[in-house]
Amino acid sequence: MGAAILSLCALALASAELTEKLHFTDIAEPSGIRAVMRCGGPEKRWIPEANGSGTAWLDYDNDGLPDLLIVNGGNMEQLRKIVGGDKVLPVEGGVYLYHNEGNGHFVDVTEKAGLANPYWGTGANAADYNNDGFTDILITTIGLDLLYKNNGNGTFTEVSKVAGLRQKAEWHTGSAFGDFDGDGHLDLFVASYLDLHDLSFKEPAPVCEYFGQHVFCGPLGLKGGRNVLYHNNGNGTFSDITEHSGIAEAPPAHGFTAVAGDFNGDGKLDLFVANDSDPNFLFLNQSNGTFKETALDRGVAYNADGRTQSNMGVAIGEYGRSGHLDVLTTVFNKDYFPLFRQGPSGVYEESAASVGLATATMKYLGWACGLTDFDNSGKRDFWTANGHVYPTDKDYNEPITIFRSLGNRTELVYQYPVKPNNSYRGGAAADFNNDGKVDLLVLPIAGLPVLLRNDTLDKNNWLGLQLRGTRSNRDAIGATVTVESCGQKQSDAVRSGGSYLSRNDWRLHFGVGPCRQVDRVTIQWPTGKMQTINSLPLNRYVTIEEPK
């Protein structure tokens, strides 16, 4: 009994140390990031006004520093024109591109770069879709999706029509690039939230009830959208293969965040889609140009209670040091964030309750999220950006939170304090200053972004990897990396999509704690080729090119 009490005390002391250890400083405004976020009016009378938008980290000029893309929403007058088929012009602040100067400061280069957004922006993504060595930009919208080709000189050209993307206004949300057929070119999946043409935005706004509050209606009762899959033709254009690929066989759903990754370990890229108030989708790659929706069979459609949840954001990886491929989603409050943990058979088990995550997350309404090692301990924490959708709710403004796995329980180890307008939506993690400590950029539904610089004090070591495909797609999306150091093993993969309509740092980051060397790094490239590297320098970013 005494030993048990001592053990509990030690655990409590360790937990207290961890809570004090993580430290962040909001430097958005002094760093030059002064984007003014908007998403309809303050009263949120229509569902588009509640969902917010995303952000993406990218190195568009190849200087080794993460630059920042922020996508913004719009107003109801603009939305009515979009739905009605009227001509809409770019509006100021529809999108922001910030160049990282490398001294803790960012410069707004949106106009100089040639970026503009006439629509209601939703999602942000980036990838080198044409393998020319420069990262391109995708903005999903309520309207027409915008594909900006990087010209290699600091400017972009909007090419969505020329590239073959749909030219009919739709409500698109999350996106994911991936080479689904292994031809070395990145294909594109785009999720859809609602059937835009089944909606009316005429006054008066419809009113529904939520625990005695009069609120906007949806998504339940509103017709869901249909996802889209494009095949990359290898010549700068895409072909719509939604029907042929089997993606169209899935029923309409309220899709938010998409992730491309290998969810069954067969070396082929699959697709996971977090659906709001519908069962999630897991499209498994059948290796013949088609996909099969298998979320129910694989255990990721519902939570452990067999209930549908309002899934918003997605985090993929190891929660703590689980040794499993974990899938976590953020959901509505008065519910819990589920943890889908992969078993030996490839089937997932929803186990949030057994690790204490269910209790820890019940009171939050989550959006952006990720699995990140903030203190380079070798264990990944679960971060979430939170905020209610109804301004009349007392919990409308919620904190940014970080949760840590402590064996069979989960503890809140960091909380960015609640402030006015802190109803958060999109967000992404990146080591923007290349100091080896991963930082966070989070967008509110209105007002100024938050850039949390990681000022955590620790003496732990880390390894940063940037993979470059040669035979594979240049971004190496689909590559899996295993790092072995001091008897510990951890894995991660280059994925596209995730968080909430956002893009995290494209580089892989591994904390190795006090370990002073990496014993082995094993890379499985998207082509299936295995590469083993016996040692790599720590505490720096290393670029590894796929053997030709």
What is the per-residue pLDDT for 12? 37
Q: CB neighbours of 296 closer than 8 A, spacing ≥ 6?
A: 279, 302
Point out the least confidently predicted range of 140-144, 240-244, 342-346, 491-495: 342-346
The Cα–Cα gap between 418 and 397 comes to 6
pLDDT given for residue 322 in this prediction: 84
As a whole number, mean pLDDT of residues 447-453 equals 97
pLDDT digits (tens, 9 = 90+) for 271-289: 999 999 999 999 999 999 9
Average pLDDT value over all residues in the chain: 95
pLDDT at 18 over 60: no
- The mean pLDDT value for 385-405 works out to 96
- What is the tens place of the pLDDT at every residue in 301-356? 999 999 999 999 999 999 988 888 999 999 999 999 999 999 988 899 999 999 99
Does position 17 have pLDDT exceeding 50, yes or no?
A: no
Q: Is pLDDT above 60 for 6?
A: no
Distance CA 419, CA 432 (A): 24
CA distance 290 to 282: 13
Decide if 340 contacts 279 (C-beta within 8 A): no
pLDDT at 228: 98
Whether the CB-CB separation of 389 and 402 falls below 8 Å is answered with no
Q: For position 421, what pLDDT does the model report?
A: 79
**What would the pLDDT profile of 483-535 be if each residue is shown by its tens digit?**
999 999 999 999 999 999 999 999 999 999 999 999 999 999 999 999 999 98
pLDDT of residue 291: 98
pLDDT at 8: 36
- pLDDT for 270 equals 98
Give the closest residue to 357 by CA, choosing from 387, 384, 323: 384
Its pTM stands at 0.96
Percent of the chain with pLDDT over 70: 96
pLDDT for residue 3 is more than 70 = no
Average pLDDT of the segment spanning 245-265? 97
With a cut of 60, say whether residue 24 has pLDDT above it. Answer: yes
pLDDT at 467 over 70: yes
Query: Looking at residue 436, what is its pLDDT?
Result: 98
- Three-state SS sequence of 392-460: CCCCCCCCEEEEEEECCEEEEEEEECCCCCCCEEEEEEECCCCCCCCEEEEEECCECCEEEEECCCCCC
Grade residue 5 by pLDDT with cuts at 50, 70 and 90: very low
Q: What is the pLDDT of residue 341?
A: 96
**Is 70 exceeded by the pLDDT of residue 10?**
no
Q: Other C-beta atoms within 10 Å of 303: how many? A: 23
Q: Residue 321: what pLDDT? A: 84
* Predicted pLDDT at 509: 98
The pLDDT assigned to 408 comes to 87
pLDDT of residue 2: 41
SS3 360: helix
Closest CA to 539 of 523, 521, 518: 518
